[in-house]
Amino acid sequence: METDKETHQGYKGRALDILKKFNIRVWSAVNIQTTRGHFEGKILPRSENDDDKHLVLKIPTGYNIGIDTDTIENMEETGFEKANYKIPEQEFPYSEHLPNVKLFGTGGTIASRLDYRTGAVIPAFSPGELYGAVPELADICNLTTEKVFAVFSENMGPSQYIQLARSIGEEIENGIQGIMIGHGTDTLHHTAAALTFMVQNPPVPIVLVGSQRSSDRPSSDAALNLIHTAHTAGHSDIAEVMVCMFGPTSDEYGFLHRGTRVRKMHSSYRSTFRTIGDVPLATVNREKVTPIKQNYNPRREDRQVRIQPYFEEKVTILYYYPNMQPDIVDALVDMGYKGIVIAGTGLGHVNKPVYPALKRAVEKGVHIYMTVQTLWGYVHMFVYDTGRDLMDLGVIPAANMLPEVAYIKLGWALGQTPDREEVKKLMLTPINDEITEKEPYNGYLVYQGGVPEVEEFIRKYHK
């Protein structure tokens, strides 16, 4: 028996009443008589967030329209056919000479299909489904998949990081030759940082990937990102935690970013992920990985990975703004926060009125680290008195660690020990370039359009 929810999916209020009145279900083929004339088509489910004044109708030409319920005079069911949309599966071929790669799913839809009747996104995830969607993968690796959990990118958190790290550890012990992780893009870089700290000294590439345009769109970046990622996981010599996403917005090549230096920098561009304060690790295309940085951790045959799955959840980022009041800091301390990462202005500053609150916090054992909201550049607290004062209060400068990375690392460090000195040592000893000794001259490139040389450049090269 179908429930009311299923027969009238998404309809409520007046719209639901009128459907019931004329005994019409979702998926009914209907003739509708209205004050605006006659309409014919199939009733579709309605999005929960839309109003209760309209019915959604797919008309014979394939378009959807809405019918105003106030205009309806009569409705008649002429047929019923429920859509049952499934991703086709084809067996993923196995080739002796190709590397074995594991794809972990976290809930983000790297590959998906849109149900053309409802618009619902149906994820493609099993190897067979992926093979149906991106057959090129079979020429790159032997793929197996595992859905570790299913959450949206914004709901990823410590327990997912830990679970993922453990699964990766098991796969490595079992001899896998490369790992791919499908992930929503919004917090992809947080997870990349967390895995860098939790999965240390990996012998194989661990590559996180997402897509900025879902793969039900013909010009999606998903397929190419997957191909690049599979290639990196299966064949590259770089055994690190990396993010693989579009280099330029054009379908040309991908970048491999170190998990600790990468950040999503545009809300919608395909080329949204950028390495901050350094050059990317490598480029990747359909054929090969080309390292840009020469000092990376090479692929190994051994299985000596160290899984360190720790996280203290009472850690936060405080984004400083002018006129910030000390009560914000007091409130955090009162609520039991153990670590605070400040994203300070300029070289790492906050205003004087906050000082007493920071002092109280440190005295209560809260670990406070300073990063910069400029994202590029180092915290430098010796330049001005204010910086020196802050350090005297116990605020620790975190060099050129990105604020989000510092947040993840502080959570990870506090998950292991509350000891001030030990935490400081963990924080300031880089595991994989979250702090670098220097920023290369070409590590800060944010071009500004309008100047002749930049215009010449973007006309000539695909950005």
Partner 1 sequence: MEYDQALDPRKNYQNTRQKIGYVNRKEATEADYQRIGFKSGLEVHQQLKTQEKLFCHCPAGIYHNNEDYDAEVIRHMRPTLSELGEYDGTALMEYKTRKEIVYRLNNETACTYEIDDTPPFKMDQEALEIALDISLQCKLNIVGEVHITRKQYLDGSIPTGFQRTAIIGVEGELPLKNKTVRLIQLSLEEDSCREISDIRHTRIFKTDRLGMPLIETVTYPDMFTPDELREAAEYIRFLNRSTGKVRTGIGSGREDVNVSCRGGTRVELKGVAHNKWIPELSHNEAFRQWALLFIKDQLAGQVTQPDHWEMSHMQIDIGEQRLTDDLLQQASHRGEQIIAINLPGFRGILSHFTQPGKVFADEIEDRLKVIACLERPNMSHSEESDPRLHADTFPTLSPLLSAGPRDAQIILWGPEEDIPTALETVEERCRMAFHEVPRETRKTFPDGTTVFERVLPGPDRMYPDTDSAPIPLDKKYIEERRKQLPEEIIDRYHNLREWDVPEDTYHYIFSKDLYPLIRDISEKLGYDAKFAGTFIGHTLKFVEGHYKRHADFQYTHIYDLFAFISQKGLIKEIAKKMLPWVYNKNPMDFEQILGEIHYKPLKKDEILSRLPQLHQQFDRISHANNAHSRNDWMMGQLHHNALGNIPLDELRKEIEKTQVNP
Residues with a known catalytic role: 109, 185-186, 264
- Number of residues binding to partner 1, judged by CB under 8 A: 61
**Among the candidate windows 2-10, 60-68, 187-195, 328-336, which touches partner 1 by CB under 8 A?**
60-68
- Residue 217 has a CB neighbour count (10 Å cut-off) of 12
Least Cα distance to 46 among 116, 120, 121, 109 occurs for 120
Instruction: Out of 12, 36, 82, 364, point to the residue binding partner 1 (CB under 8 A).
Output: 36
Find the shortest distance in angstroms from Cβ 112 to partner 1: 10
- Residue 70 has a CB neighbour count (10 Å cut-off) of 11
- Is residue 66 close enough to count as binding partner 1 by CB under 8 A? yes
Whole-Å CA distances, 206 to 99, 124, 192: 14, 21, 9
Find the shortest distance in angstroms from Cβ 79 to partner 1: 17
- Is residue 270 close enough to count as binding partner 1 by CB under 8 A? yes
Beta strands in 81-173 (DSSP E): 100-105, 112-114, 121-123, 142-147
Q: Which is nearer to partner 1, 60 or 322 (CB)?
A: 60
- Is residue 377 close enough to count as binding partner 1 by CB under 8 A? no
**Among the candidate windows 86-94, 191-199, 202-210, 344-352, which touches partner 1 by CB under 8 A?**
86-94
Instruction: Out of 28, 126, 220, 436, point to the residue binding partner 1 (CB under 8 A).
Output: 220
**Among the candidate windows 183-191, 245-253, 357-365, 403-411, which touches partner 1 by CB under 8 A?**
245-253
- Is residue 223 close enough to count as binding partner 1 by CB under 8 A? yes
Subset of 298-357 contacting partner 1 (CB under 8 A): none
- Is residue 215 close enough to count as binding partner 1 by CB under 8 A? yes
Q: Which is nearer to partner 1, 84 or 429 (CB)?
A: 84
Torsion of CA 334, 336, 341, 342, to 10 degrees: -10
- Is residue 439 close enough to count as binding partner 1 by CB under 8 A? no
Instruction: Out of 1, 5, 62, 302, point to the residue binding partner 1 (CB under 8 A).
Output: 62
The secondary structure element, H or E, covering residue 54 is: strand 54-58
**Among the candidate windows 33-41, 327-335, 361-369, 393-401, which touches partner 1 by CB under 8 A?**
33-41
Transcribe 358-421 into DSSP letters. HHHHHHTT-EEEEEETT-SS---TTSSHHHHHHHHHTPEE-TT--HHHHHHHHHHHHTT---HH
Q: Could you tell me whether strands 254-258 and 282-284 are parallel, antiparallel, or unpaired per DSSP bridges?
A: antiparallel
- Is residue 452 close enough to count as binding partner 1 by CB under 8 A? no
Tokens of 250: 């054009």
- Is residue 65 close enough to count as binding partner 1 by CB under 8 A? yes
Report whether 379 contacts 398 (CB < 8 A).
Answer: yes
Report whether 326 contacts 353 (CB < 8 A).
Answer: yes
Site string for partner 1, 119-158 (x = CB under 8 A): x-x----------xx-------------------------
- Is residue 217 close enough to count as binding partner 1 by CB under 8 A? yes
Whole-Å CA distances, 232 to 33, 140, 224, 284, 288: 58, 10, 12, 7, 8
Q: Which is nearer to partner 1, 253 or 444 (CB)?
A: 253
Q: Is 462 helix (H, G, I), strand (E, B) or coil?
A: coil
Instruction: Out of 74, 78, 174, 250, point to the residue binding partner 1 (CB under 8 A).
Output: 250
Subset of 99-118 contacting partner 1 (CB under 8 A): 113-118
**Chain centre to alpha carbon of residue 113:** 19
- Is residue 441 close enough to count as binding partner 1 by CB under 8 A? no
Rounded Cα–Cα distance for residues 462 and 256 (Å): 18
Find the shortest distance in angstroms from Cβ 251 to partner 1: 5
Residue type, position 146, single letter: E
Tokens of 169: 């550890």
Question: Binding residues for partner 1, per CB under 8 A?
Answer: 34, 36-39, 50-51, 53-56, 59, 61-71, 83, 85-88, 113-119, 121, 132-133, 213, 215-220, 223-224, 249-252, 266, 268-270, 449, 455, 458-459, 462-463
